[in-house]
Amino acid sequence: MKTEQDPKKHYIQILVENRFGVLSRVAGLFSARGYNIESLSVGQGVDPTVAQMTIVTAGDDRVVEQITKQLNKLIDVIKVVDLSESSFVSRETVLVKVNTTTRPDDRQEAFRIAEIFRAHIVDTSPSTFTLMVTGEGEKIDSMINLLRPLGIKEVVRSGMIAIAREETRSSVRHAKHDGEMPA
């Protein structure tokens, strides 16, 4: 259970020049202030000269605000947004290699678990399945916990990615009005 003393999770989105050394300087700001980066994902965006970072960290608002201000001062940083202050969508991808030969029904059990979590079997061998699933961290953790009795050989997590939601117009109605559906 979360208490008031628990640090808040912050999802920080950073647009940077896509150059060597930028990741090191950004990560250095967090380590210099004693903050752990729980998740870090970096990738090229629409413009190949710009990369987007999604960093998940936990801390109080005041210190994260200071980090955000310091990030904005870095020469290669274009924009910094703490997505935690608005509505956003986040996902993570995981690859899990699981044994399928410990017990006679292990292959079927791994397949059933994959179906429940909408995971894809991306590789198979006579003794393993490699499953890929995308979703919230809780979904991924739940799938991993169900696969543990089968014998997990390896887990690779991508790190969280996040994007701000677009605002929706309040004038759009999705419910019936006077017995008619809107056009």
CATH class of the domain comprising 89-164: alpha beta
Domains 8-86 and 89-164 share a fold: yes
User: What does the pLDDT read at residue 36?
Assistant: 87
Contact criterion met (CB below 8 Å) for 15 and 78:
yes
Cβ count near 131 (within 10 Å): 24
74-92 per-position pLDDT tens digit: 999 999 999 988 899 999 9
d(CA 149, CA 152): 8
Q: What is the mean pLDDT of residues 144-160?
A: 95
Q: What is the largest CA-CA distance in the chain?
A: 61
* Measured CA distances, 84 to 5, 81, 164 (Å): 18, 9, 9
The structure tokens listed for 153 are 């050989």
Architecture of domain 8-86: 2-Layer Sandwich (3.30)
What confidence tier does 39 reach under pLDDT thresholds 50, 70, 90? very high
Where in the chain are the domains?
Answer: 8-86, 89-164
What is the token pair recorded at 18?
A: 């896509």
Find the DSSP H helices in 117-147.
137-147
